[in-house]
Structure 1
Amino acid sequence: MKSKKILFINQEITPYVSDSELSHIGRELPQSILEKGYEIRTFMPKWGNINERRGQLHEVIRLSRMMIIFDDTDHPLIIKVASIPSTRIQVYFIDNDDYFTKRLMANDENGEEYEDNGERSIFFARGVLETIKKLHWTPDIIHCQGWIGNIVPYYVKTAYKDEPSFANTKIITSLFGNGLKKDIEKTFGQCLEFKDAHSDILKNYNEKFDFTEFEKLAIDYSDGVIEAGPGVNQQLVEYTKSKGIPFMSQAAATELDVDAYDNFYDSILE
């Protein structure tokens, strides 16, 4: 029987960034799912606080140097890779000097959120999807964990819907208790435009496009949603249920329930 393929799109993975709920799940879930017999790929941004030498990251030349074009600007895509010590997990890092290498995660050195986090998420989403195409790998499920992957469901169901790599792919979005505080920048819509992905979609959301609306955009184009821990905005939980989207809650779990994730993946694929 052919093994199922899961693409994990993670915002954070320990040990590359500080330990947190998100980075812990980003590290443990892919490993546990791999041990269940799945075939996996794992991606995250190459945040500026990642120590490349300590993490033994190196550039993958054959995948790098593509230009991601939006808002009439060329943005070079750099792909790096590393293996998590003592595991069989290889992590692909999406990099770009302006969006990642020269900057930290959501917040700068003074704790202020970057004004273009929405734009950064667009670059990241397109970088991941273009790299998967180059790898000639066809995921059965894409599992997005963290705000940086919020654009992926929309792009897979619009701009990339006719790509063989994603034609039958299901999308799962995990919701977490932390997120962005500032509204998404007003230039987000024009940067979003790509093939069949259009800024008109934003008319379906509040004009004040804050983090809650950003999460709703991810939910609307997902085939399943997971409440991945405590502190999730219950408005988003109720929104998911009102849409009839398959839902799983792990809010009360004290440790990673791999069997629950495994069963949820099966239910989505069925």
Structure 2
Amino acid sequence: MDNSEKTEVVLLACGSFNPITNMHLRLFELAKDYLNGTGKYKVIKGIISPVGDAYKKKGLIPAHHRIIMAELATKSSSWVEVDTWESLQKEWMETVKVLRHHQEKLEAGTCGHPRNSPVLERPGRKRKWTEQRQEANQKKSLEPRAQGVPQMKLLCGADLLESFGVPNLWKSEDIRRIVADYGLVCVARAGSDAQRFIYESDVLWKHRGNIHLVHEWIANDISSTKIRRALRRGQSVRYLVPDLVHEYIEEHGLYSDDSEDRHAGAVLAPLQRNSAQAES
């Protein structure tokens, strides 16, 4: 199958990225290798979309820091970039709405112009951050597109897939729309129960053809939670996060006992919203 017959794909990763790690970046590379290797797809772009502050997750530092670190982490990438739209929303946005937003951009033919996206406000650093975004994104351009509109697919780890089973964390209709209308690319470690979880879910099983399980044979146990724990204890995280991210964390003194208590006692936005809707 030549390139003109392959389905072009844009991978979207949503999450806290608190902070972004080397493992987050590896997810994109693993997913791209897998999809391209099928001979049916051609991955043309990757998008990192950090969640907004309204998510209210414990220990979630302000979005402007997480956005800047993600921009620094992807500075050397020719195909993965950061999008601020989700972070700019005043309210927490369901993942299916973020997917729809980016699919609509693809359909409108604006996907290849990341510099037109709005800039996240931050007093005293707006100009510097804007320059960083422009410098990073000048290198990012899409290859000529084949006929038809590229498909958005949600890129995730097995933990996100399994979170579909947490009561009130996801709306059942949103899960159905994500897997039916867009599709999942799930990077699962050897020995994970991702396949079993799909089997035990009627919705996921029905749309299993649109769920791609990518096995991570080279084990990588890096997580944002472990990174934050090490930083709180004054331990080195060098080589666990990109060098520029490590420098930014040190420069701004991010991740302390105080920051880990941020939003302590708050109810996650999806749990609060979905629980209220279930009761009404």
Give the structure with higher Rg (CA).
Answer: 2
In which range does the TM-score fall when normalised by the shorter chain? 0.3 to 0.5
Greater relative contact order (Cα < 8 A, sep 6+): 2
More helix by share: 2
Q: Which has the higher strand share?
A: 1
